[in-house]
């Protein structure tokens, strides 16, 4: 189809044409960025985490006397293991995504201290006996802790544990010793040092950055004896089949409350911890979805309104074209092509705007760079919306009978 008559006609309606172009451009820019933000949040919410999330029930026990942990913890665990359906039970210092973070800087060279530039901040998990099995850690290389490792570890005068073994995540191992096997290497936080005895699949930290942050899996696991834990072990983890989990949350909470009359027990299933951590993010994502849908609807209605106006304005013109031989198809095509031309102008401007907004957000709000394919995807979406909304008015235009040409408007 020859677009020259369309361009000539648009030149006579510069302002409405420009308005449609601007509206499409703005919609395209907002759409690309909003969808990108949604995708970032959805990716964060689904970050993988190599523990048995579906099977873990957690009970936090506060207010007990740390001096008695050596006898209380084994008693509590024995009672939990007696509950029906429990596959493993242990006590740990914190859980992934629980926001309760204990971080320390570790280096790879003797003498590295907390504040050395080469030190990497690592989240520390302290596991009571059997903690690896209760969490469902997946050992990829080397071995996990044995009974001796658990029994020998304790806190003394430092926030770092008095032990010499550690498990690291695969991500941490790859960053500390790139291209080398990590098992047998040593983590230093002078005067403490820890030998890596095993590498586990990536477990999230208690507190993470956004989805692109490279540090989300920088975690290390240390064994810890109940008697030497100085109150650091307060999260009881009970692992079961997923169908038993919610029942065990209640039963384990009740059991620990009964056994520890001075303490406060609070139970949650692990999925609840994950949901709670990402609650803000998922509500933001839903808000973005809502805004996008309403925005596209407004844009579509705007196109419908303006095109209808044009069609009405040009009824006589259309009638004349029909009278001199144009088919309904020609008229339909005319308006569709016209919309396509306007949309093309709009998305071209919109893609540039979207890119600009992304760059601005990157500087102001630590947004990531938008992958290139969001731009053409946004463009295609607005092309389609334009064509869909022009269809109604264009069909009405095509229905204009040739006889209109003979009437005075």
| Binding-site ranges for another protein (CB under 8 A) | 15-16, 19-20, 22-23, 26-27, 29-30, 33-34, 37, 62-63, 65, 113-115, 156-159, 191, 257, 261-264, 266, 276, 279-280, 283-284, 287-288, 291, 294-295, 298-299, 301-302, 305-306, 308-310, 312-313, 361, 365-366, 409
Name the residue nearer to another protein (CB basis): 34 or 197.
34
By the 10 Å C-beta count (0-12 exposed, 13-18 middle, 19+ buried), 284 is classed as middle
Name the residue nearer to another protein (CB basis): 99 or 327.
99
Name the residue nearer to another protein (CB basis): 30 or 397.
30
Name the residue nearer to another protein (CB basis): 77 or 382.
382
Instruction: Tell me how far CA of residue 293 lies from CA of 34, 220, 286, 397, in angstroms.
Output: 11, 43, 11, 28
Look at residue 360 and give its three-state secondary structure.
Answer: helix
Instruction: Give the residue from 223, 14, 21 showing the smallest Cα distance to 129.
Output: 223
Q: At closest approach, how far in Å is the CB of 352 from another protein?
A: 15
Name the residue nearer to another protein (CB basis): 288 or 390.
288
Name the residue nearer to another protein (CB basis): 102 or 177.
102
Q: At closest approach, how far in Å is the CB of 208 from another protein?
A: 16
Q: At closest approach, how far in Å is the CB of 327 from another protein?
A: 27
Do you know the residue count of the chain? 409
Rounded CA separation 405/182 (Å): 85
Place of tokens 């810890």: 224
Q: At closest approach, how far in Å is the CB of 266 from another protein?
A: 7
Q: At closest approach, how far in Å is the CB of 253 from another protein?
A: 11
Name the residue nearer to another protein (CB basis): 309 or 372.
309
What are the tokens at 195?
A: 């030998």
Look at residue 355 and give its three-state secondary structure.
Answer: helix
Name the residue nearer to another protein (CB basis): 2 or 156.
156
Name the residue nearer to another protein (CB basis): 264 or 399.
264
Which contiguous run of DSSP H or E holds residue 105? strand 103-106
Asked if residues 140 and 200 have their Cβ atoms less than 8 Å apart, the reply is yes
Rounded CA separation 108/123 (Å): 16
What are the tokens at 378?
A: 């946004």
Asked if residues 106 and 192 have their Cβ atoms less than 8 Å apart, the reply is no
Q: At closest approach, how far in Å is the CB of 9 from another protein?
A: 15
Q: At closest approach, how far in Å is the CB of 29 from another protein?
A: 7
Name the residue nearer to another protein (CB basis): 147 or 366.
366
Asked if residues 269 and 56 have their Cβ atoms less than 8 Å apart, the reply is yes
The DSSP line for 228-295 is T-TT---EEEEEE-HHHHHHHHHHHHHHHHHH-TTSEEEEEEHHHHHHHHTHHHHHHHHHHHHHHHHH
Instruction: Tell me how far CA of residue 372 lies from CA of 38, 228, 351, in angstroms.
Output: 16, 54, 10
Q: At closest approach, how far in Å is the CB of 382 from another protein?
A: 12
What are the tokens at 250?
A: 């209640």
Asked if residues 390 and 307 have their Cβ atoms less than 8 Å apart, the reply is yes
Name the residue nearer to another protein (CB basis): 79 or 300.
300
**Cβ burial 175-212 (10 Å sphere, 16+ → b, else e):** bbbeeeebbebbbbbeebbbebbbbbbbbbbbbbeebe
Q: At closest approach, how far in Å is the CB of 268 from another protein?
A: 14
Q: At closest approach, how far in Å is the CB of 404 from another protein?
A: 15
Q: Residue 286 CB: number of other CB atoms within 10 A?
A: 12
Q: At closest approach, how far in Å is the CB of 246 from another protein?
A: 20
Which contiguous run of DSSP H or E holds residue 220? strand 219-223
């Amino acid at each position: 189809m020859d677009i020259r008559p369309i361009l000539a006609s648009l030149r006579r309606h510069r302002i409405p044409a420009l308005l449609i172009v601007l509206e499409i451009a703005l919609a395209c820019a907002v759409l690309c960025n909003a969808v990108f933000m949604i995708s970032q949040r959805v990716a964060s919410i689904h970050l993988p985490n190599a523990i048995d999330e579906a099977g873990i029930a957690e009970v936090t026990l506060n207010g007990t006397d740390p001096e008695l942990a050596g006898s209380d913890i084994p008693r509590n665990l024995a009672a939990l293991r007696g509950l029906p359906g429990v596959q493993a039970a242990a006590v740990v210092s914190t859980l992934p995504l629980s926001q309760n973070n204990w971080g320390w800087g570790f280096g790879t060279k003797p003498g590295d201290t907390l504040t050395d530039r080469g030190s990497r901040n690592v989240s520390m998990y302290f596991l009571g006996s059997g903690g690896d099995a209760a969490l469902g850690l997946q050992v990829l290389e080397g071995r996990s802790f044995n009974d001796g490792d658990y029994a020998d570890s304790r806190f003394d005068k430092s926030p770092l544990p008095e032990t010499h073994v550690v498990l690291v995540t695969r991500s941490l191992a790859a960053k500390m010793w790139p291209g080398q096997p990590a098992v047998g290497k040593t983590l230093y936080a002078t005067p403490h040092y820890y030998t890596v005895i095993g590498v586990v699949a990536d477990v999230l930290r208690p507190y993470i950055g956004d989805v692109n942050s490279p540090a989300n899996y920088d975690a290390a696991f240390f064994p810890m004896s109940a008697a030497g834990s100085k109150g650091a072990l307060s999260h009881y983890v009970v692992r079961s089949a997923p169908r038993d989990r919610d029942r065990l949350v209640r039963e384990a909470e009740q059991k620990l409350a009964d056994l520890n009359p001075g303490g406060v027990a609070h139970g949650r299933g692990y999925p609840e911890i994950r949901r709670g951590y990402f609650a803000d993010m998922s509500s933001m994502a839903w808000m973005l979805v809502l805004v996008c849908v309403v925005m596209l609807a407004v844009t579509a209605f705007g196109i419908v309104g303006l095109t209808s106006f044009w069609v009405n304005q040009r009824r006589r013109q259309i009638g004349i074209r029909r009278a001199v031989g144009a088919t309904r198809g020609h008229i339909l095509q005319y308006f569709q092509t016209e919309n396509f031309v306007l949309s093309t102008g709009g998305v071209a401007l919109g893609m540039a705007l979207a890119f600009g907004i992304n760059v601005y957000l990157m500087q102001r709000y630590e947004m990531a760079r938008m992958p290139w394919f969001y731009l053409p995807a946004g463009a295609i979406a607005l092309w389609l919306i334009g064509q869909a909304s022009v269809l109604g008015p264009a069909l009405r235009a095509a229905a204009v009978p040739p006889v209109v040409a003979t009437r005075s408007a």
